[in-house]
Amino acid sequence: MHDLGVIEGDGIGPEVTAAALEVVSAAAERFGFEFTATHHDLGADHYLETGVALSAGDVERLRTHDALLLGAVGDPRVPPGVLERGLIVALRVAFRQSVNLRPARLYPGVTSPVAGVTPENCDLVIVRENTEGLYAGGGSTVHGGTPNATAVQTSVTTAAATRECVEFAFRLAAARRKRLTLCHKTNILVEAGRLWERVVEEVGADYPDVERDYVHADAMCLHLPLNPGRFDVVVTDNLFGDIVSDLAATVIGGLGVAAGSNFNPRGTAPSMFEPIHGSAPDIAGRGWANPAAAIFSAALCLASLGERSAALACEAATVSVLAELPALAGSDMGVSTAEIGRRVAERV
Ligand code: ATP
Ligand code: MG
């Protein structure tokens, strides 16, 4: 029995999550496992009613689950950062989800907007440190609102979290094509860069058959679209990982198909699975959202719970439905979010 906690969230979050859960139900029936899905009413409405994005009680309730599925949070009525930092980032930190895994594979039948990118040369995984860097540091502003205003935003990098992330990346690379690329900006961010390089060197000593490579974050934005085949596992810090994985999502067909997961590698708290897109208020309520990203994320969740065959079946069914869509997002997909969910569930 798998006990899932579900945060549908805002905008298209409930729409894509409903489709993902329909697919998980079909997989449960087909592969003979049981699961429960407990919904947690968090997100913009909850915040606007209570003034709190995430209480200590919410964290403890969510902690009891085996894994969490998150749709998306964010709403134009809520000031920027309140839900992103106060809910998503807070959960990543509370549950020590030090690894954000974002596969970037071009599926057969999906056309990349970048010429020359094919399913044969585009199958990489971005492993992003998920709790530190510029996202964890505090900050301050002096002379705010004046011509002399100066904002300071600090970045925090610890050997402990970096190591957890790098170890995860090497384990993954060893099970894949055995190539690990560190993506950073070590020539400018020298303190954090040195720490990342040292940890990669130390952990890498245990993986002599994994080839190591290094690419600056800016150069990555050039190499990844032009030569994705160079990369297998890319390990990187929080901010660079956020940027590079949106770029990778574009290369594989857009936010509608890009999955993500927040892993606690030590299993001391639940991991959380979420599409990398946001709540997309511009298309919410119209049935134009592609649920593939949410379904792929749910498949990653099933794999992490040991349901590997079910995960592969969900992935394959989604790929076959994607191949039939005239477009990957928006009004010209030809079918609605719910209909895509139904078709994938049937094929599972
Ligand atoms: P966040 O800050 O939460 O990451 P964002 O500002 O990056 O949000 P998204 O909500 O991810 O923005 O949306 C970016 C664009 O991509 C929007 O135009 C949105 O409509 C589109 N989009 C996002 N997800 C999907 C999806 N699943 N299907 C179709 N279009 C999508
Ligand atoms: Mg975004």
| ipTM of this complex | 0.94
Q: Measuring from atom 2 of ligand 1, which residue has the nearest CA?
A: 278
- The residue assigned the tokens 């990844």 is 224
What ranges in the chain are assigned the alpha helix state H?
13-31, 44-50, 56-63, 82-83, 90-94, 159-175, 190-204, 217-226, 238-251, 292-304, 308-322, 337-347
Ligand 1 atom having least distance to the Cα of 330: 29
- For a mutational test of ligand 1's pocket, the pick from 83, 255, 283, i.e. the residue with the most ligand atoms closer than 8 A to its C-beta, is 255
- The residue assigned the tokens 């997002």 is 329
Terminus-to-terminus CA distance in the chain, angstroms?
20
Ligand 1, residues at Cβ distance < 6 Å? 12, 16, 74, 255-256, 277-280, 282-283, 289-290, 293, 329-330
187 alpha carbon – ligand 1 mean position (Å): 33
DSSP state of 112: P
Residue 326: half-sphere exposure toward Cβ, Cα within 13 Å:
8
Task: Please report the pLDDT score of residue 326 as a whole number.
Answer: 82
Which of 50, 145, 53, 48 has the alpha carbon at shortest distance from 94?
53
Q: How far does Cα 11 stand from its chain's mean position?
A: 18
Beta-carbon neighbours within 5 Å of ion ligand 2? 278
- The whole-angstrom separation of Cα 8 and Cα 14 is 5
24 alpha carbon – ligand 1 mean position (Å): 23
Task: Cite the active site residues.
Answer: 135, 185, 218, 242, 246
pLDDT average per 10 residues of sequence, the chain (348 residues): 97 98 98 98 97 97 98 95 92 95 93 95 97 90 96 96 97 98 97 98 98 98 97 98 95 93 95 95 95 98 97 97 87 91 98
Task: Please report the pLDDT score of residue 333 as a whole number.
Answer: 85
Task: Please report the pLDDT score of residue 141 as a whole number.
Answer: 96
Ligand 1 atom having least distance to the Cα of 291: 27
